[in-house]
Amino acid sequence: MKVRLGLGLGAWSFDEFDSKNLYDFIDKCDDLGVDSLWFSERIINDIPNRIVLDPIITLAALAGKSRIMKFGTNALNLPARHPIVLAKELATLDFLSRGRLLLVVGLGSEESRDYMASGGFKKERGARTDECIEIMKLLWTQNNVSFHGQYYSFDDVTIVPKPIQDPTPPVWIGGRSKAALKRTARLGDGWLPAGITPYECAEGIVEIQNLASSDYDRAIPEDHFGVALSCFVSEDGAEMDKSILANVRRRHDASLDSYTAIGTPEEIIKTIDSYQKVGVTKFVLQPLAKPGDWLKQVELIAKHVIKPLQTPFSKKEVFERSGVV
């Protein structure tokens, strides 16, 4: 199976808050052979100086800058958005980018105030997410759609353009909770959790496939399982600045090194191999570095991790992504 490695961007990571930094970064990633870039979502800035761009607007801008890379959300906060408007935005983006849209959706973080700000409540977010996924897929594949659910209700709605990807852009589910596993089995086209160990990935993949088969008479493609990993490459074995770890969500039930990729190139490749052995083929590597060192860390990840591990792009794949060979 093809192994693909992309980079995840959370908060703004460049020295200066200038859009030119981001556009120059896209050119660099193209040159480095990065498969995809992934953007997280925070609607409200609860942390001073932590700037998070809107992912959909950012994807639209960057998809026009690069002709090869794919662009994704990790994860899009579905219950904070209206599904009809979102379906139209994402279909347009997939159409204009020639099918390079990647979509991981979730419920948002527990502590987020995004729900209240967008008119919803935390207790509704699971059911709203389920309805959103169902509505988007209907609108992407059918015309004159009617839907009457607990939170959304409408009649005779058609959106155009339809997405390029057939039948729809794959909707991957983020999260490692039991509810996330069930949602993937029931509605998802793939699974991409974060902060999870290889053993937990193995258990999750088996549970998802068993649930999908036994309860919903469907199967998730075997190459539609991924993981997001915080990553730091040390060429000389020197330890990283521990203050950087403040950006990593810590777990009380697992050691940090069991769900991150930190160390020498050889150690990181060994870590990624442990995920591959249990069925993970898609990786979103989230560079750990201060703004002044962040681009250097990206170069190290590309050189020592992405280049040796990623399956090369075929001519057919380049054509499908860009329209030119």
CATH code, 17:
3.20.20.30
pLDDT band at 198 (very low <50, low <70, confident <90, very high): very high
Question: d(Cα 137, Cα 199) in Å, to the nearest integer?
Answer: 32
Coil, helix or strand for 319?
A: helix
Q: What is the mean pLDDT of residues 222-247?
A: 88
The distance in angstroms from the start CA to the end CA of the chain is: 23
Q: What is the mean pLDDT of residues 110-130?
A: 78
Q: Tell me which of 107-116, 137-146, 153-162, 202-211 is least confident.
A: 107-116
Q: How far is residue 218 from each of residues 87, 125, 157, 189, 209, measured CA to CA in Å?
A: 23, 25, 27, 10, 8
Task: Indicate whether 325 pLDDT > 60.
Answer: no
Q: Tell me which of 215-219, 248-252, 283-287 is least confident.
A: 248-252
Q: What is the mean pLDDT of residues 306-324?
A: 84
Domain count, the chain: 1
The pTM score is 0.94
Q: What is the mean pLDDT of residues 9-32?
A: 93
Helix segments in the chain, DSSP class H: 19-32, 55-65, 83-96, 114-117, 125-141, 178-187, 198-216, 265-276, 291-301, 307-309, 315-322
- pLDDT digit string, tens, across residues 68-90: 899 999 999 998 899 999 999 99
What pLDDT is stored for residue 324 in this prediction?
A: 62
Q: Name the percent of the chain in helix, strand, coil, to the closest 5.
A: 45, 20, 40
Question: d(Cα 313, Cα 85) in Å, to the nearest integer?
Answer: 33
Cis peptide before 75 (omega within 30 of 0): yes
What one-character DSSP code corresponds to residue 80?
A: G
Question: d(Cα 52, Cα 81) in Å, to the nearest integer?
Answer: 17
Coil, helix or strand for 208?
A: helix
> Between 120 and 91, where is the model more confident?
91
> What b/e string do you get for 117-130 counting C-beta neighbours within 10 Å, with b at 16 or more?
eeebebeebbebbb
Question: d(Cα 294, Cα 55) in Å, to the nearest integer?
Answer: 20
What pLDDT is stored for residue 46 in this prediction?
A: 73
Q: What is the mean pLDDT of residues 296-310?
A: 96
322 CB-contact burial (10 Å; exposed 0-12 / middle 13-18 / buried 19+): middle
Q: What is the mean pLDDT of residues 132-143?
A: 98
Q: What is the mean pLDDT of residues 50-54?
A: 91
Domain span at residue 232 reads 4-322
Half-sphere exposure of 305 (CA within 13 A, CB side): 35
Residue matched to tokens 């992405």: 306
Please, what is the average pLDDT of the chain?
A: 92
